[in-house]
Structure 1
Amino acid sequence: MAMLPARKPNQALYVPPALRDAENCSVLRLDGQPEKTGNSTTDGAKNVSVKDVGLHSMLQSLSLSGARCSTKLVQTKQTSNPWDNFKRESQMTESNVSSEVSNKEPEIDYGRFKHVLELYGFSKELNSADLQAELSGFEDSGFYLKWVDDTHCLAVFSSPMEADRALSQISGILFKAHKFEFASLESKRKLAKSPGDWAMPYKRRPLTTSATARRLIQGHLGLRPSEPQRQQELESEKRDKQLLAEARAQYERRKKAQKSMWEDDTWNF
């Protein structure tokens, strides 16, 4: 068995590079006394300068090694978690795509929706009754309103001709109107969600009476009314038709009277 040395060696077994440079550049003795030469002042200055050079080289080597370590740490942090980088890039890509999609106008065949107008430029306090009052001259042909938001509404008329007539008669005091092809992006998106519901122009429901409704229901159920009941239904239906005709004639007379009153330019004081 090899025997261990009996005493501690005179010099260290491992000396760091910084200390090696300092020992090589230094001219000091092990006991701390400088060597004696002919010119003591010059030798002292040389010893001090050599010592400063050794300390400077030691600090420089330590700073370089620290810089290398910090650079490696930064590189390690940057490349340590590639999943975070992938998530960050995917989020940026999704945000860019969503912004492009949100600003993209939907594809619509505007030739199929010439009977639709967009009403805009009105106050949030207005409701459907206010808009219908402005379009009061189109009850006969019929129309209906579909709201987009508080300041935009779509008016669906019975034909493109009626829509053009309404566009020319709207005063623009309460609200403004234009064709659907010039509508806002939100209105176009609302129509694009279900274009089939908007493609058919407005069609007024035919006028029915209780006798007509009863006869239709009995016909679908396969029931035949008795003769007296049928006579009563026919008489009731006849009376309802007369009442409807009288109401319509009264409405036409009132409408003509209002029109003649506004068109009369003669004033009697």
Structure 2
Amino acid sequence: MGGHGLLSAVPFPPLQLLGGEKRRESRQSPRFDYYGAEPTAPDLSDAELPHVIEIYDFPSDFRTEDLLRVFCSYQKKGFDIKWVDDTHALGIFSSPITARDALSTKHLLVKTRPLSQGTHASKAKARAYADYLQPAKERPETSAALARRLVIGALGVRSNQTPAQRDAERRKLQEARERKRLENKQREDAWEGRD
């Protein structure tokens, strides 16, 4: 038996010579046409920005303050507005749950709907500003102690704050630091799996 018997048993398709090129004959059509594929616009569904709703059908002379007044019950939880046009705006809430709550509430002067059912202009605005439409966060507690100290130091005047007020402000800052430290420790313990 010679070595030539093995070559004839290889199941390769025959080679065709066309213009000096070697090419294999294709016996199967491709499953996907990658060359003819068109890129599609990203789908902006409720799952993508569930904390954003469209506010619409309100008077064109409404201002931001008017819309904030309509949604005043969400101010403490975190709420922001981005304008689309004179009668459309995006409502950005702190969480999808509060956005869903706002959708279920009936308002006299405005209508609301999920962003997926919104106008083309609202969806385009949301796409353009997606990085800036993060859930609104509650503003942290602040204190004017540092600003007061800097101003008093720069002007060279005496503070009119009583020692009791200074102590209360220091205690408030210390409590805020302790609360933040505790939150960070709890977050770290959760990631590490500690109780």
Q: 2:97 pairs with 161, 180, 199, which one? A: 161
State the secondary structure of the residue aligned to 1:111: coil
For 2:72 and 2:111, locate their aligned partners in 1 and report how far apart those are by CA, in whole Å. 16
Cα deviation code 1:17-48 (max 9, x no counterpart): xxxxxxxxxxxxxxxxxxxxxxxxxxxxxxxx
Aligned residues: 123
Would the aligned equivalents of 2:94 and 2:135 in 1 still touch at CA under 8 Å? yes
State the secondary structure of the residue aligned to 2:48: helix
In the alignment, structure 1 segments of 5+ residues that lack a partner are 1-103, 218-230, 242-269
Please report how far the alpha carbon of residue 136 of structure 1 lies from its aligned counterpart in structure 2 after TM superposition. 1.5
Q: Equivalent residues in 2 for 1:194-233 (5 A)?
A: 194-198=129-133, 200-211=134-145
Would the aligned equivalents of 2:60 and 2:86 in 1 still touch at CA under 8 Å? yes
Please report how far the alpha carbon of residue 159 of structure 1 lies from its aligned counterpart in structure 2 after TM superposition. 0.4
Please report how far the alpha carbon of residue 236 of structure 1 lies from its aligned counterpart in structure 2 after TM superposition. 5.4
One-letter amino acid matched to 1:166: A
Corresponding residue number in structure 1 for 2:73: 137
Q: 1:125 pairs with 30, 40, 61, which one? A: 61
Q: 1:190 pairs with 125, 150, 174, which one? A: 125
For 1:178 and 1:118, locate their aligned partners in 2 and report how far apart those are by CA, in whole Å. 5
In the alignment, structure 2 segments of 5+ residues that lack a partner are 1-39, 151-162, 174-195
Corresponding residue number in structure 2 for 1:235: 167
Please report how far the alpha carbon of residue 196 of structure 1 lies from its aligned counterpart in structure 2 after TM superposition. 1.7
State yes or no: 1:152 paired with 2:88: yes
Corresponding residue number in structure 1 for 2:9: none
Would the aligned equivalents of 2:45 and 2:115 in 1 still touch at CA under 8 Å? no
Cα deviation code 1:73-99 (max 9, x no counterpart): xxxxxxxxxxxxxxxxxxxxxxxxxxx
Q: Equivalent residues in 2 for 1:1-269 (5 A)?
A: 107-171=43-107, 173-198=108-133, 200-211=134-145, 234-235=166-167, 237=169
For 1:109 and 1:213, locate their aligned partners in 2 and report how far apart those are by CA, in whole Å. 44
Cα deviation code 1:34-73 (max 9, x no counterpart): xxxxxxxxxxxxxxxxxxxxxxxxxxxxxxxxxxxxxxxx
Please report how far the alpha carbon of residue 179 of structure 1 lies from its aligned counterpart in structure 2 after TM superposition. 0.7
One-letter amino acid matched to 2:62: L
Q: TM-score, normalised by structure 1?
A: 0.40
Change (3 A) 1:212 1:109: farther
Q: TM-score, normalised by structure 2?
A: 0.54
Q: Which has the higher contact order (CA 8 A, sep 6+)?
A: 2
Cα deviation code 1:117-169 (max 9, x no counterpart): 10001111111111111112112202010000001000000001111111112
CA RMSD of aligned residues (A): 3.1
Higher alpha-carbon Rg: 1
| Larger strand share, 1 or 2 | 2
Please report how far the alpha carbon of residue 170 of structure 1 lies from its aligned counterpart in structure 2 after TM superposition. 3.0
Would the aligned equivalents of 1:146 and 1:154 in 2 still touch at CA under 8 Å? yes
Please report how far the alpha carbon of residue 235 of structure 1 lies from its aligned counterpart in structure 2 after TM superposition. 1.8
One-letter amino acid matched to 1:137: S
| Larger helix share, 1 or 2 | 1
